[in-house]
């Protein structure tokens, strides 16, 4: 695990092997799997982040699930209850909230 000296990690946390966390991230009450790349200035609260995925800079994830191989693009907001499915990518500067989330509409295949 590679963590920036300028990241804040607190609460109940579990970080997988080979995961990197960028500068100015705030991450609390979460599980992050193996081989993930977390960009700079990312907020993650109460999420389950699976393996081998990328979360780009300035993303905001709250009580969401991000599955293996997904890509969360810069500026994306995932609100509580959202599931970003296997090997899909959020759109740039995209906000997804429940109950209006429909994977076939909001996410593009990688």
- CATH of residue 17's domain is 2.160.10.10
pLDDT at residue 22 tops 50: yes
Q: Give the per-residue pLDDT at 87.
A: 80
Q: Give the per-residue pLDDT at 90.
A: 74
CA distance 88 to 103: 9
Residue 55 near residue 74, CB atoms below 8 Å? no
CA distance 41 to 26: 7
Rounded to an integer, the average pLDDT of 83-92 is: 78
Supply the range of the domain harboring residue 66.
2-109
Q: 105: Cβ–Cβ under 8 A, 6 or more apart, which residues?
A: none
The 3-state DSSP class for residue 104 equals helix
Domain count, the chain: 1
């Amino acid at each position: 695990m590679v963590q920036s000296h300028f990241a804040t990690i607190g609460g109940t946390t579990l970080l997988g092997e080979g995961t990197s966390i960028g500068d100015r991230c705030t991450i609390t009450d979460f599980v992050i799997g193996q081989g993930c790349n977390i960009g700079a200035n990312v907020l993650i609260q109460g999420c389950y982040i699976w393996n081998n995925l990328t979360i780009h800079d300035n993303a905001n994830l709250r009580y969401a699930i991000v599955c293996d191989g997904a890509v969360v693009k810069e500026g994306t907001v995932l609100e509580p209850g959202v599931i970003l499915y296997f090997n899909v990518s959020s759109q740039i500067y995209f906000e997804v909230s429940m109950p209006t989330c429909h994977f076939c509409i909001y996410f593009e295949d990688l």
